[in-house]
Chains A and B, each alone.
Chain A
Amino acid sequence: MSAHPAKAQRVGMEVSIAVSHAVQMARAEAIAAYPITPQTHIVEHLSTLVANGELEAEFINVESEHSALSACIGMSAAGARTYTATSAQGLALMHEILFIASGMRFPIVMTVANRALSAPLSIWNDHSDIMAARDIGWIQVFVENGQEAYDHTIMAFKIAEHPEVLLPTIVNLDGFILSHVVEALEFISQEDVDAFLPPYQPKYRLDPKKPVTMGAFAMPEIYTEVKYAHQVALTNSYHHILKVWDEWANLTGRRYRPVETYLTEDAKVLFLTMGSLTEVAEVAVEEMRAQGLPVGLVSLRLWRPFPFDALREAVKDAELLIVCDRALSAGGPGGPVHSEVRNCLYPLESKPATVNYIIGLGGRDVPPEAFHDILARAQKEVESGPSGEFFLYGVRG
């Protein structure tokens, strides 16, 4: 394979391979990874690129995901542009270090090929891995298709490394459903990427000529202030994210927004989805519109920092918002996305009623018909008064 695919030429490629090409074009310098399904194709291809000298980088095959992220922190602290990828149990094994990476403000970029968590063991897609890592202080983006996976991987480096952001960034893509799909993709040239993403200039790094202490412990007198600074940085990263996405739109013509809307004008009922489910929902919504139903679709692209204002703006005129979660907050108020959405809308005087459907767990297929069914059930639910309940969709028996 050539150093990288040619510019603006549509090529058929597996999405995982496209992600590794994005990492290559971003000129990542240091990668540490441990194999876990369905992330493996990404790091397999990256290791091939490194082995062939097509990517000037160091690749460490660590002995666990815990060490993968630990090594990434070391590589980032040394001043290298750092990348890793993981999934499900691997993300869970990293959990402790996820907080440390963001607390110490290392701009590591990570792809999470979303997958269900054990038990029972499931290698298939849902969002229970990343939703269990909701509060880790990383910037988090969800992508809908391969093109977005490529685009957002390159943009993630630029966002993470901005001196006023300095936060690790996760690009979430649905395992198998997206990671293993062959799609037609458009690449931009290496020159364009280089102009868009200059080399990483670390503000602080481990250097004997200018020694610093990183990762010191904090007494109660200072811990809260450090956490506050982290929160402010994460909230403020919103503007930098929009700026980088705008720049990308000028470069490629592909514009991304924190909350995407589809056929929402005059829509009385809105679906809310994340990730690759959005494309299925689009099909369903188109069919419903053809039947004359006032239905629209809202898709949450930016998960952290949470786009409060953009989401309120997108749904305020609807009567009913059906939130489709791909994870279950066991023993809690339903899916984690629904919890956050309801929290976001609560202060508004006029807001849509919300119903929560949890679908597609552990790789269960979600065809467009499911949305038709959910719409009928949700409307019936609302007519009989708001129950505040959530529904695990498609449970047999």
Chain B
Amino acid sequence: MAVKTLSLDGQLISARDGQTLLEAARESGVSIPTLCHLDGLDPVGACRLCLVEVNGRLMPSCLTRVAEEMEVWTQTERLQRYRKQIVELLFAERNHICSVCVANGNCELQDLAMRLGVDHLRYAPQEPQCEVDLSHERYGLDHNRCVLCTRCVRVCDEIEGAHTWDVAGRGTNCRVITDLHQPWGSASTCTSCGKCVMACPTGALFHRGASVSENVHDRETLHALILAREEKQWLV
């Protein structure tokens, strides 16, 4: 297998051909913040948090493949500023009130805010009118917490194979929907497998009737499933 050497934050590293910059960076112990990315799902490069500077250009590290003699910077002042702005924009976009959220303490958006030092918002909250869909017997959907990362859409399509989820609307009026914009409970394609809930980074998708401490997003099960299918590794 071909190996590429590149520079990452000034250090020379080697990476396997075909690896993304995100994977190579993680292997080298450099952590790049992400939100829409989830190992095993097709990357979409939508949240723009994992942008890195490659030879002076901004590239999404989840999608950019390593190449010989790349010069990559992952933590420049400019990138940190953009990341902070993006998280602030997300907080201002919907109603992310952590103190009354089922994902409090187990939320990737909250983690990002702490990691990036977002301690106040400079942008006016949009305060949209968002619905809560409790029509499904086991799960709930709270649009107030949704960051439109489309992990639920992809996990349902790519891992479960049901494609119950999709996105409707345009711009800030985008909403994740089930089937043809029916209540989740009446979406006939839904298999109630719960993978979308496992994949959700925030409290948008949750187990009904579970407390904050019980609403843990179980990424391990997802990863195990992906490993089992793609690499025939069965972790018992």
| Chains A and B belong together in one complex | no
User: What residues make up the interface of A, taking CB atoms closer than 8 Å to B?
Assistant: none
User: What residues make up the interface of B, taking CB atoms closer than 8 Å to A?
Assistant: none
